[in-house]
Amino acid sequence: MDASHNMGYYHGEGWHAGSFAAQGHTWHEDATWAWHEGVWHPGWSDAACSWDGSWWGEAAEEGDAWPQANSVDHLGPKTAADERTAQIHFAKTYQVLNEAIEKHPAAFRDKFSFLDLGCAPGGFSQRMLEELGDGGTGYGVTLPFEAGGFPLLLHDLRYHVQASNLMELQSPEDLECPKLVDVIMADAQDLGRRSPANQRAKRRNKTSKNAKQGDDSEAAGIGAACATLGIWALTFQEIRLGLGMLQEGGTFFFRFGWRGRGDQEEHWYREAILRLLGLVIAFFKEVFPFKSESFHQADPCFYVVAAGFQRQGYEDAMLETRLKSAIQSIIACEAVGDLPECIQTLAEFSTPSNHQRIDELLDTVSRVRAIGLSSRTTVEAGGRESPEAQLIIRPVPYHLTMPRLRQHMECYGKIAYIRRRSHAVGVGADALIQFVQPAHAKMALEAVNDMKVLGETVVARLGKSG
C-alpha cells in the first residue's frame, strides 16, 4: 500500500476516507463510506446516494467493483440503534489499526492474508484489506448477532466470515480458514451479556436467593466461574487459535490490559501478565506495545504488536494442547488468586530476562497512559466542563462501584471524573460521568440505553437535556 495513506474518519452518517492508492483504486477527495441496504459502500453521495463508479475503473460500470455477495443476513443490524452503535465501533477500530500500522509499518508490510478474531463490525478487517491490496484475502470470526455479537458492516468478495463463539471452537482446525495466514488480529470482547437468553438469565438471578454476591453478566458469554477471569480465558483462547493459524514470520496483533499499580500490584495479576507476555516474547522476534493516541489513552488497555513468528518452536513446545488445558482451568477457577496455578504450564516463560523486557514494555504503556491521565486531570482542573459531555446514569446498582463504573464506561472515551449522588429520599444513587468530549458521552449514552451494558433497569441521559 502507498505510504501516503491517510487515516479516514467518521463524520455525520458516513465514513470519510483519506487517500487510498492501489492498482486501479484512488480515493476522491472527501469520498465517503456509507451504510446502504445492508452493506458499507465507498463513494456514495450523502445528498443523492448516487454511486460514483469512476474511481473504481471499468469494473464499476458492470457492478463488480464493490461486491454484494457474501452478505450474511443474520450478522446485520436489527435496529437503527444497532446500526449506529456498529458504525461507531467500525470507525474506532479502523482508526486504531491505522495508527498501529503507521507506528509499526514493517510488521504489516508484504502480507497477503489475515484472520480477524472477534471481527464485527469490521473496522480492523476493512483497514487490513486496504493494506493488503487487491490480491489480499481476509477471514473473520464473530459471535452471531442473535447471541449478542455486533452487527457486521463489511462485505467483500475477498473476505470470508464465520459466525461462531470463539470459546466453543475446540481447535484451530475448527476455524473456516483454509490455510495459515500472515496476520492475526484479536480484539474480541465478552458480548454474551447482550444476548436475549443471558439477559433473561440475569433477571432470574436478580430474584434468586441463591445468587452469588457480586455475580453479574461479565461471565455470561465466557461461562467462567469467576467473572474477573473471563477475559483471561478469552485472551488465551485468542492466542491459542491465532497462533495455531499464523504463518512462519507472521504478525500477531492483540489487545490486553495493564493496571500499572507498580509495587502495589497484586501477585497473581503480575505473575499472570509475566507468563502471558513471556509466552509471546518467546516465539516472536519483535514485540512492541501500542496505545492509540485517539482512543483510550488514559485507559488500562493497550495492544501488543508481535512480529516474526517462530512457528516451528511453537509447534515443538506443543503449546496448542497446553493452552487448551490452561483455558479449561481458568474457566473453572473460582478465585482470581489461583490464576497463576491455572497457567502453571507457562511458568517456564516467566524468566528474569523476560521480566526485564516485559517491564520495559509495560513502562512504555504506563508513560503513555500517564499522559492521558494528566490530560484528564487538566480538563477537570481547568474548569472546561461541557454539559454536552456529561452523562447522568440512574439508578446506579449498589454493586456498581465508581471504579467499576469507570471500567465499564471508559472504553467509550476519555473520562474527566465520575461523581456519585445519593438520592435525597429513599435508597439508591445516581452517577454523573464527565467525558472529555461530547461525542464520547453520546457513544456511552447509546451503550447504556440501547446495548444495556449496565443492565436492563439502568438508563442514562446527557447533562444538557436536564
Same domain, 424 and 276: no
Residue 251 is inside which H or E element, if any? Answer: strand 246-257
Give me the sheet containing 415-422, strands edge to edge: 415-422, 429-435, 390-394, 459-462
Same domain, 322 and 412: no
Same domain, 165 and 41: yes
Same domain, 217 and 319: yes
pTM of the model: 0.67
Same domain, 336 and 419: no
Residue 95 near residue 7, CB atoms below 8 Å: yes
Q: Could you report the per-residue pLDDT of 129-142, keeping only the tens digit for each?
A: 999 999 999 999 99
Same domain, 156 and 279: yes
Same domain, 258 and 133: yes
Same domain, 118 and 177: yes
Same domain, 396 and 294: no
Question: What CATH number corresponds to the domain at position 146?
Answer: 3.40.50.150
Please check whether residue 420 lies inside any domain of the structure: yes
Same domain, 394 and 339: no
Please check whether residue 4 lies inside any domain of the structure: no
Q: Which domain holds residue 164?
A: 9-349
Please check whether residue 316 lies inside any domain of the structure: yes
Q: Could you report the per-residue pLDDT of 259-299, keeping only the tens digit for each?
A: 766 667 789 999 999 999 999 999 999 999 998 877 655 56
Please check whether residue 430 lies inside any domain of the structure: yes
Please check whether residue 445 lies inside any domain of the structure: yes
What residues have CB less than 8 Å from 190, skipping those under 6 apart? 218, 219, 220, 221, 222, 230, 231, 234
Looking at 321, 349, 377, the residue that finishes a domain is 349
Domains held by the chain: number: 2
- Using the structure block, give the residue that is written with the C-alpha cell 438520592: 423
315: pLDDT strictly greater than 80: yes
Q: How far apart are CA 73 and CA 57, in angstroms?
A: 29
Please check whether residue 92 lies inside any domain of the structure: yes
240: pLDDT strictly greater than 70: yes
Please check whether residue 137 lies inside any domain of the structure: yes
- The whole-number pLDDT of residue 172 equals 98
Please check whether residue 122 lies inside any domain of the structure: yes
Same domain, 264 and 326: yes
The residues pairing with 140 across neighbouring beta strands, listed in sequence order, are: 116, 161
pLDDT band per the 50, 70, 90 thresholds, residue 374? low
Same domain, 87 and 206: yes
Q: Could you report the per-residue pLDDT of 10-63, keeping only the tens digit for each?
A: 333 334 333 333 333 333 333 334 444 444 444 333 332 322 222 223 332 333
Question: What CATH number corresponds to the domain at position 427?
Answer: 3.30.70.330
